[in-house]
Amino acid sequence: MAETKTILLVDDDRELLDGLRTLLEKQGYRVLAANNGHQAQTAIYDKTPDLVILDMMMPGKGGYPVLEHFRGKPDVPPFIMMTANEGSRHKAYAEYLGVVDYIRKPFAMDRLLEAVTKALRTEVPEPEAEVEPQED
């Protein structure tokens, strides 16, 4: 049986967090939540989630400082950034910082589930069976 994956949701919008939590839990994920970047960093270190879905703009510490903090560190979970920001420079910077996906709000829940599935895909293809040479 596959291990339950843990997703950390980080957003200051309580309604969005609740809706995403419900959606992801129905898909079988364990969901943690944080309201800002400070809480996110603590949760990443303490809870070691398999994936982080991170809002860009939040009071206190937003998404970019969190990404900057973890950039280049070993054993960091993949990040999906979600934002209402339309700027292409913001997307380019997020990608530079290592996000695996960048989703603009408002988004279809199917779009988010697709990104989550892709980010958590860990199956390694089975190696092809080697054929032993036969002697005559």
Helix (H, G, I), strand (E, B) or coil at 114: helix
Confidence label for 126 from pLDDT (cuts 50, 70 and 90): very low
The proportion of the chain whose per-residue pLDDT surpasses 70, expressed as a percent, equals 88
pLDDT for the residue numbered 68:
96
pLDDT at 130 over 50: no
Confidence label for 127 from pLDDT (cuts 50, 70 and 90): very low
pLDDT tens-digit map of 15-68: 999 999 999 999 999 999 999 999 999 999 999 999 999 999 998 899 999 999
The model's pTM is: 0.86
Counted domains in the chain: 1
Say if CB 22 and CB 34 are below 8 A apart: no
- Is 88 contained in some domain? yes
Domain that holds residue 101: 6-120
CA 6 to chain centre: 10
- Is 20 contained in some domain? yes
pLDDT for the residue numbered 2:
63
Q: Write the CATH number for 19.
A: 3.40.50.2300
Say if CB 86 and CB 21 are below 8 A apart: no
- Is 1 contained in some domain? no
- Is 128 contained in some domain? no
pLDDT for the residue numbered 38:
96
